[in-house]
Amino acid sequence: MMAPQVFVLSGMGINCERETAAALRLAGASVDIVHISSLLLGRSSLQDAQLVVFPGGFSFGDHLGAGQALANRIRYRQMPSSQTLFTELATFVDDGGFLLGICNGFQVLAKLGLVPNTRGKHIQEVSLAENLSGRYENRWCRLATATDGPARSLASPEPIELPVRHGEGRVVFRDRAIRQSVIDQSLNWLTYVSQDGVPATAFPENPNGADLSCAGLCDPTGHVFGLMPHPEAFATPYMHYNWPRRRRDEESFERKADGLQLVRSLLRWMSQDGANTLDGPRGTL
Structure confidence by residue, pLDDT tens digits, 4-34: 999 999 998 888 999 999 999 999 999 999 9
pLDDT band at 281 (very low <50, low <70, confident <90, very high): very low
Q: Cβ distance 114 to 54 under 8 Å?
A: no
Give the HSE-up count for residue 76: Cα atoms under 13 Å, Cβ half-sphere.
Answer: 7
Band (66; pLDDT cuts 50, 70, 90)? low
- pLDDT beyond 70 at 62: no
d(CA 52, CA 127): 21
What is the pLDDT averaged over residues 124-153?
A: 96
C-alpha 4/C-alpha 74 separation (Å) is 24
Instruction: Report in angstroms the alpha-carbon separations of 82 from 3, 9, 46, 52, 76.
Output: 32, 21, 15, 21, 11
Number of residues in the chain? 285
| Omega cis (within 30) before 163 | no
Instruction: Please answer whether residues 8 and 98 qualify as being in contact, where contact means their C-beta atoms are separated by less than 8 angstroms.
Output: no
**Alpha-carbon distance 249 to 265, whole Å?**
26
pTM attached to this predicted model: 0.93
Query: Residue ranges of the domains in the chain?
Result: 5-283
Provide DSSP, 209-253. --GGGEEEEE-TTS-EEEESS-GGGGSSGGGSTTHHHHHHH-TTG
**What's the whole-number average pLDDT of the chain?**
92
**Annotated catalytic sites, by residue?**
103, 230, 232
Could you list the beta-strand ranges (E) of the chain: 5-10, 30-35, 51-54, 98-102, 126-130, 137-145, 160-166, 168-173, 188-192, 214-218, 224-227
So what's the pLDDT on residue 275? 43
Supply φ then ψ for residue 17, to 5 degrees.
-70, -35
On the question of pLDDT at 63 being above 80, the answer is no
Backbone angles phi, psi at 50, to 5 degrees: -110, -25
CATH H superfamily, domain 5-283? Class I glutamine amidotransferase (GATase) domain (3.40.50.880)
Which three-class secondary structure state does DSSP give residue 40? helix
- Lowest-confidence segment of 94-103, 189-198, 239-248, 272-281 by average pLDDT: 272-281
Residue, of 251 and 194, whose pLDDT is higher: 194
pLDDT > 90 in the chain, percent? 84
Give phi and psi for 38, each to the nearest 5: -65, -35
pLDDT in tens, 228-241: 999 999 999 999 99
Mean pLDDT along residues 69-96: 95
